[in-house]
Structure 1
Amino acid sequence: MDENCILVGNGSVELLYGILRSVACKQVRIPVPSYSDYERAARVCGLPCLFHLLNEQNNFQLDCRQFDAEIVAGDLVIVASPNNPNGKVVAANEILWLAERHPETWFLIDEAFLDFCPGAPSVAGQRENIITLHSMTKFYGVPGLRLGFAIAPSAKAQALCDQLPPWNVNTIAQNFAVKALQDSAYCTQNQDEVRRLREQLLAGLKQFATFSVFPADANFLLVKTAGSHTAPELARRLLADNILIRCCDNYRGLDEHFFRVAVRTEQENNQLLDALYTLFNGHRRISRPRKCPALMLQGTSSNAGKSVLCAAFCRILLQDGIQVAPFKAQNMSLNSFVTRDGREMGRAQVVQAQAARRDPDVRMNPVLLKPNSDTGSQIIVNGLPVGNMSVLDYSRYKSTVWQDVVASYHSLAAECDAIILEGAGSPGEVNLKKRDIVNMRMARHAEAPVLLVGDIDRGGVYASFVGTLEVLEQWERQLIAGFLVNRFRGQESLLASAHEYLLAHTGKKVFGVIPYLDDLGLPEEDSVSFKEGLFDTVARREDSVDIVLVDLPHISNFTDFEPFLGEPDVTFRVVREPAEIGNPDALLLPGSKNVFADLKFLFDRGFAGIFRQKQREEQCEIVAICGGYQMLGKEISDPLGIESSSPNMTALGLLEQTTELLAEKKLTRRQGIHLALGQEVAGYEIHHGISSSQGASCLRFSDGTSCGSVSANGLVWGCYLHGIFDNDLFRRSFLDRLRIRKGLEPIDEVLVCYDLEAAFDRLAAVVRERVDMNLLYELMKL
């Protein structure tokens, strides 16, 4: 294109008025409905207007063959492609055919929205009697810059230039235009996204019987409402929900039943659909899945303290009665954790899961990268390896693995009241943003507001906050709700001026200042060791005891027994077949998410006989928690059908007790004494059943109530208290009792500390004191 044919203006409207002043014509001919400023500009220039009425039955699509019969020499024909308000493209070959048929007629083709239509060619510069208008403010979303351009034959472009004021385009707009036109990747991405969102919005609007929706090629849709509802009435009622629609009753050929809606973000489109559903049905629509309230912590850098703060918020929400789970889409670490089903996940999410009192689950960390060279990693997806990949290979693979990330998130969120998400590194890493699956893309998908965490102990935290926002795109900045200043040593009031500056510069506030926490007792980030060993550990001392845990198909809260893994005088084994049990010193039965199914498993696989044999031999201590405790009794009944269609089932019969499953779940913290060992214990109960025992209780709580049951010889006992073995003194007393029964000397001192509960509670107390939790809950809409 000859540069002399291009004229840049302060928006395409300025150029429109200039063209009408510079083109010699007798009248302006406009297919309508169309953009109303065409007519206004003609009237201002003293030109009469003639209108060609478009047919509603043809979706207001211009029929160039029919229009051809009306055009005469001396006309200025103005055609919008795509047209506003119906958003349909006029085929380029049809426009060129008209221009050839009428060489004495000027054709002004407004292609302001054509950039939204991939595959639709421009007619710019194709004929000597065609002028095209182009807007950059619409496609690039910068209306405040006022930037457009026209393409015309060089002589006409010069005549048009003479109609415009000097210095009409500022340097900011000029520099932006150069950069924007070079960004082909944005064009493709924006076109694809608008097409996807337009199709979703079109399908959603078509669900309303009162609407007729016209198919479009641009970033808006024309809608006609039937019956008594008018567009101005809808606009007024939607305005109460802070939603604006464009009434089209001022367009020629349209009346008060037509309105136009913009294709916005998926969240905003759904807001419109929800509001319309409520308006027409009187109640909110429930067709879309419930959005789980969520909060995401991202950092100005790696090791800013995101992982520990996520654990803190998990514990705080848990304390406040909210069932919460952690989630990190992608983690990079060599320090992985093996779940009970032999799958790997990042250890930071394991700690966070423990803070939330949930079993570690690979859905909390669906993608784990284990570096095996400077340029490559082993890729773990949903806990299983999919292969080794270079950085470039994995970058291409992200589009595939994103579906696994989304599926894991939704599956986990469906079981929770809230999700605490953790980002990775920094969202400002511009070289990684394009294929991001763990930071802003994940936050947008989860509709999670983001708090940006910065480590002030390193220095430069406020510059990092501002700098991070500066490299984010607008939609990413909109997701940032505020900041958390982490690891501060000193007087918080000294930071006031910095926070005022931050608010003035970014419009976002600091939600809290977290002090430097020393000797917290929790592993920080993935680089810090997480306890010792995995399940199935071998004792590091010869004078040791052997403990066996039976793995149930629906096992839950298996972390109740994790404290044994670090004990140097314990060999801990997880068994899945009766023959693997051998002659342990203790046989453990864990909790269960389905007691009836797991009890049937014990009988079908022959475990029940082994348990009874061990009881008769009186050489092994049998211990069970929660669901396992229920299985040790004589019978379990399920009158409400909570877990089974059978009303009752015979249990193992090792304890004199019966259990009835109830609808209401018990969720409470407990503190008390293990009566046989005389040691303090603490933990929590979460169960549906109530057990009635004829034997002695094994625990007495501080409120005077009791829990559990113990056999006459003391070798079989169980209770509902999760976390009972986290107490170091109690755990050592239990192990020493096993040692004495085996003929070994008791150790009489704690060898390994494992009381994460106290550390979680200390962490939560500090963070709760320093963060405005009411504001945070408001942010999460909890």
Structure 2
Amino acid sequence: MKGSLLVAGASSDAGKSMLTAGICRWLHRRGVDVVPFKAQNMSNNSAVTHDGAEIGRAQQLQAHACGARASADMNPVLLKPGGDRHTHVVLHGKPLGEVSALDYRELKTTLRQAVLDSYDRLRAAHDVVICEGAGSPAEINLRETDVANMWLADQRDLATLVVGDIDRGGVFAALFGTLALLDERDQSLVAAFVVNKFRGDERLVAPGLRMLHDLTGRQVLGALPWLPGLVIDGEDSLSLVRTLSGGPPVGEEPLHVAAVRLPRTSNATDLDALGCEPGVVVQWTTSPAEVAAADLAVLPGSRATVSDLEWLRATGLADAVTERARRGRPVLGVCGGYQMLAETITDDVESRTGTVPGLALLPTRVRFDAAKTLGRPTGHAGGITVDTAYAIHHGVAEPTGACEEFLGGWRRGSVWGTPWHGCLDTDAFRRAFLREVADAAGRRFTPAPGTDVAALRDRQLDLLADAVADHLDTGALDRLITAGPPAGLPTVRTLLTREATA
């Protein structure tokens, strides 16, 4: 089997990333040499490959679904928003610089060549490449500079599958409208639809699927069911509205975690491992009262540390975090959140604000280096080896007073800070950390002895693959991958003209 396919979405968070992962896993389980590809990703949830390249977190998960080692070619262009008008561009895994929306248009030629080079290398080295689009292919105001959706499909003649989220309502209008807004060449590449997140008896949605086929002349491969409990590696910021909980506690009491939802939160997936633990409830929040009341408060990573710190102060959240630390209540800062815990932050790189005061909860000072630190560090905490971490940061902290080393960072009392993402994925460390948190919070909480985050991730990938196998027309899916877009697909204008003259 050889070929390729583009999975596009009728909207952001329609399920492109999860469907791509599910198709990848389904193919991998059949022995197909398959890898993922996302030409351009806009996300502050990133990961670091084993050779030190920064890519979107979802592509790392999809590579894992394929049984492959993630590489920069799987996500050649990564955009990390740092504000409303400027974005940090990562090209082939390395920082390119900050650009405005208008500057970005000038990069089009460079980025498009990088995208095609990466895609072609993957196609030459593997039998199947499953591509994921970005946002919606019907963002017609951006078609001229598109690199991830219909431009890619046009350049490499890819059959395009469009997925829509029925849970939001209006899915049939979204799928039909996506097709209708495209020009004739792009419409000729859209070969099939998938409905995602359907709840209930599939017989209820079947008439709509048939009508969509009749209206568009495109195959409707099926309706994927709502899959509760998919908590691993959510890519879109919309997923931060969720509460994560691994179920009832093993011990006498649950443990409540308040994760501060910063305006520019990055690598929110750091908290997923906590949400897998029975008895641990992770709530993303902007409420000072919830932060004050929680057993553990977490300041996550940030794409704009100084700006988010200002917001933290303006909202009263800084006071809530500071007060709980003074009372010996646990606080954890990760990467940008760790930097906020310092006495001072000197940033002439991201915000270019010079030196500003931090929360002074750790006796450290932070200085931003122009060079970005990217790596897969290994460390020890309490005699436990932590080997799941990755580092993506400009800020470097040094101690100004007495504190303990903690996974590349520092700890004082009930305040922990680390520049490393992914530490909590190490099961033994996570359990030991939660015991300390429970003791400091005065909770009678017992960590579950058998929670295995890596195994849970694999089970969820298999659940996605099972959904593909059980609910989609997999024969048609195979044909789209191997044969490309079917010839003679009608345009919406042609279909409407036929309807009007019938």
Report the TM-score, using the length of structure 1 for normalisation. 0.37
Report how far residue 537 of structure 1 moved.
5.4
Tell me, in whole angstroms, the C-alpha distance in 2 between the residues paired with 1:496 and 1:292.
31
* Counterpart code for 2:108: K
Question: Do structure 1's residue 766 and structure 2's residue 467 form an aligned pair?
Answer: yes
Question: Do structure 1's residue 454 and structure 2's residue 164 form an aligned pair?
Answer: yes
Q: Indicate conservation of the 8 Å contact 1:294/1:447, yes or no.
A: no
Deviation per CA, 1:506-549, whole angstroms, max 9, x where unpaired?
1112101001111124222243633468732555x5x23346xx
Tell me, in whole angstroms, the C-alpha distance in 2 between the residues paired with 1:497 and 1:510.
11
Q: Indicate conservation of the 8 Å contact 1:469/1:477, yes or no.
A: yes
SS in 2 for 1:374: coil
Whose RCO is larger (CA < 8 A, sep 6+)? 2
* Counterpart code for 1:360: A
Q: Indicate conservation of the 8 Å contact 1:308/1:525, yes or no.
A: no
* Counterpart code for 1:774: G
1:562 counterpart (388, 396, 408): 388
Structure 1 runs of 4+ aligned residues shifted over 3 Å read 526-534, 561-565, 570-573, 726-729
* Counterpart code for 2:480: L
* Counterpart code for 2:388: E
Report how far residue 294 of structure 1 moved.
0.4
Q: Indicate conservation of the 8 Å contact 1:485/1:514, yes or no.
A: yes
Report how far residue 376 of structure 1 moved.
1.4
In structure 2, the residue matched to 1:638 is none
Report how far residue 407 of structure 1 moved.
0.6
In structure 2, the residue matched to 1:272 is none
In structure 2, the residue matched to 1:482 is 192
* Counterpart code for 2:147: I
Q: How does 1:441-590 map to 2 (within 5 A)?
A: 441-527=151-237, 529-531=268-270, 535-536=376-377, 543-546=382-385, 562=388
Q: How does 1:347-362 map to 2 (within 5 A)?
A: 347-362=57-72
Tell me, in whole angstroms, the C-alpha distance in 1 between the residues paired with 2:140 and 2:149.
12
Tell me, in whole angstroms, the C-alpha distance in 2 between the residues paired with 1:780 and 1:334.
30
SS in 2 for 1:312: helix
Tell me, in whole angstroms, the C-alpha distance in 1 between the residues paired with 2:141 and 2:465.
35
Q: Indicate conservation of the 8 Å contact 2:224/2:471, yes or no.
A: yes
Shift in CA distance, 353/571, structure 1 to aligned 2, threshold 3 Å: farther
Question: Do structure 1's residue 322 and structure 2's residue 32 form an aligned pair?
Answer: yes
Q: Indicate conservation of the 8 Å contact 1:378/1:387, yes or no.
A: yes
Q: How does 1:273-422 map to 2 (within 5 A)?
A: 293-422=3-132
Tell me, in whole angstroms, the C-alpha distance in 1 between the residues paired with 2:480 and 2:141.
30
Q: Indicate conservation of the 8 Å contact 2:378/2:385, yes or no.
A: no
Report how far residue 495 of structure 1 moved.
1.6
SS in 2 for 1:442: helix
* Counterpart code for 1:506: T
* Counterpart code for 1:305: G
Report how far residue 434 of structure 1 moved.
1.2
Identical positions, percent: 41
1:775 counterpart (476, 480, 493): 476
Deviation per CA, 1:752-771, whole angstroms, max 9, x where unpaired?
63312222112211221001
Tell me, in whole angstroms, the C-alpha distance in 2 between the residues paired with 1:484 and 1:777.
14
* Counterpart code for 2:465: A
Tell me, in whole angstroms, the C-alpha distance in 2 between the residues paired with 1:458 and 1:546.
43
SS in 1 for 2:388: helix
SS in 2 for 1:496: helix
Report the TM-score, using the length of structure 2 for normalisation. 0.57
Report how far residue 292 of structure 1 moved.
5.3
- Structure number with greater Rg is 1
Q: Indicate conservation of the 8 Å contact 1:369/1:380, yes or no.
A: yes
Q: Indicate conservation of the 8 Å contact 1:535/1:572, yes or no.
A: no
Deviation per CA, 1:590-641, whole angstroms, max 9, x where unpaired?
xxxxxxxxxxxxxxxxxxxxxxxxxxxxxxxxxxxxxxxxxxxxxxxxxxxx
Shift in CA distance, 316/494, structure 1 to aligned 2, threshold 3 Å: same
Shift in CA distance, 572/324, structure 1 to aligned 2, threshold 3 Å: farther
Shift in CA distance, 504/751, structure 1 to aligned 2, threshold 3 Å: closer
Tell me, in whole angstroms, the C-alpha distance in 1 between the residues paired with 2:466 and 2:185.
34
Query: Unaligned regions of 5+ residues in structure 2, if any?
Result: 240-267, 272-333, 335-374, 392-404, 409-424, 433-446, 484-502
In structure 2, the residue matched to 1:749 is 449
Query: Unaligned regions of 5+ residues in structure 1, if any?
Result: 1-290, 548-560, 574-725, 734-746
Tell me, in whole angstroms, the C-alpha distance in 2 between the residues paired with 1:571 and 1:293.
47
Q: How does 1:598-617 map to 2 (within 5 A)?
A: none
SS in 1 for 2:35: strand
Report how far residue 399 of structure 1 moved.
1.7
